[in-house]
Structure 1
Amino acid sequence: MEGLEDFLETIISLLAGVSLSAATGFRLFVPFLVMSIATATGHMTPAQGFEWIGSPVAITAFAVATGVEVAGYYIPWVDEILDLITTPAALVAGAVLTASTLVDISPFLQWTLAIIAGAGAAGLTKGMTDVARLTSTATTGGIANPALSTMELFTSSVISVMAILIPLLTGIVMIGLLGYAAYKVWRFFGRRRRFR
């Protein structure tokens, strides 16, 4: 019975991590800030070695980084540059976030799951937002980009908070979202190949 409970706890932790990782595809630092606050207030216990994430220094750093990132996405063309920077960074962030939620498992399994599930989730949602921004810039000259930025910020915030409060439900929803993201990215690049 204890083994089953441990397994379920690992699954729920993994779903929380994948959800937080998916949120980095919308805004890189929002999930870190939410997790940092949740850890500091006792709403979440990170994996061993990640206790620093709830420190006052970490909260301040993530808050400043979030503010800079959010502001940058409202500046024309700067948002495109930010996408170039945050796309590879999201993969690393996704792996770190998922690893930080996986408690009481071997380091090898922890990081294997983090790299596959965490980085994968972040890559898919980031790919979807990159496609959306490229399409918006191409069709509206960037006029619609601020509205897109607002929607991305809202989505990242909601997913991050829900990942902490209701990880099981959020994780199930995220599986569906990741499937949709994979379809959108595949369709975008498939269409580009046809027009070559």
Structure 2
Amino acid sequence: MAALGGLVAISLGLGLAAASGFRVFLPPLLLSGAINIGIVEPSGQLEMLDGWMPFSVLLCAVLLEIGSYLIPWLDNVLDVVASPAAVIAGIGMMGSVIGAETNLDPIVQWTMAVVGGGGVAGTVQAGTVATRAVSTGTTGGLANPIISVFEAIMAIVVTLLALLAPLLCLVVVMIGTVYAFKLILRQRNRIKPVHMA
């Protein structure tokens, strides 16, 4: 694999994986749109996103996902499903992109996807869960719809950045992942174990 081409593919994959941590279906929807209008060349595993039928199905999933997150308390319940789904989506996004853009051995490709894509998506998702938990605890969930809208906007911004400037997106994802990790640790340290006498 050419060094720069491989770095771009990995950057694109990590960017889409990070965006999957905010919203599961938005990155594949926007990637499908980019394929359909000719910004991204569909090859390999990305061909499944080519065509308006996959785009339409993903659009319905996005509308349902975003709408559900706007309902206070339901958003916390959805996190139980969304957390593993975000990791799976991150793995799928990164694995598909680097598989389509590089000639890596499939074992290397999917190992990178699991560790990199799954790790980044899981960290971002855990950061959103921690943020929503703080919001629910301090506002009774009333601020959660605002946070949900912000997360959807972040998913769009990170996905577009990954598609249009993947190397810049890599830097943003690295900074964002460190921030999310710190947020998770801070939230974890606030939760004190209860000792029974």
Q: Which runs of 4+ in 1 moved over 2 A?
A: 193-196
Any residues of structure 2 matched to 1:127-166 within 5 Å, and which?
A: 127-166=126-165
**2:107 corresponds to which residue?**
108
The verdict on how the C-alpha distance between 1:151 and 1:195 changes in structure 2, with shifts beyond 3 A counting, is farther
154-163 or 104-113: which moved more? Answer: 104-113
Distance 1:128 1:194 in 2: 21
Distance 2:104 2:124 in 1: 27
Task: Report the secondary structure of 1:50's partner residue.
Answer: helix
Distance 2:172 2:90 in 1: 17
Offset from partner CA, 1:113-163 (integer Å, 9 cap, x none): 100000001000000000000110011001111111111111111111111
Distance 1:40 1:106 in 2: 28
Distance 2:125 2:97 in 1: 20
Instruction: Kindly indicate whether residue 26 of structure 2 is the aligned counterpart of residue 27 of structure 1.
Output: no
Relative to the length of structure 2, the TM-score reads 0.92
Kept in 2, the 8 Å contact 1:46–1:100? The answer is no
Segments of structure 1 that go 5 or more residues without pairing to the other structure are: none
Distance 1:45 1:187 in 2: 42
Distance 1:80 1:108 in 2: 35
Segments of structure 2 that go 5 or more residues without pairing to the other structure are: none
Offset from partner CA, 1:8-50 (integer Å, 9 cap, x none): 1111111111111111111111111011111112211355133
Note the C-alpha offset of 1:175: 0.5
Note the C-alpha offset of 1:77: 1.8
Distance 2:51 2:108 in 1: 26
Instruction: Kindly indicate whether residue 114 of structure 2 is the aligned counterpart of residue 95 of structure 1.
Output: no
Give the percent of matched residue pairs that are identical in Structure 1 and Structure 2: 33
**1:178 corresponds to which residue?**
177
160-169 or 182-191: which moved more? Answer: 182-191
Instruction: Kindly indicate whether residue 54 of structure 2 is the aligned counterpart of residue 58 of structure 1.
Output: yes
Q: How many residues align structurally?
A: 192
Superposed CA RMSD: 1.4
Instruction: Kindly indicate whether residue 32 of structure 2 is the aligned counterpart of residue 36 of structure 1.
Output: yes
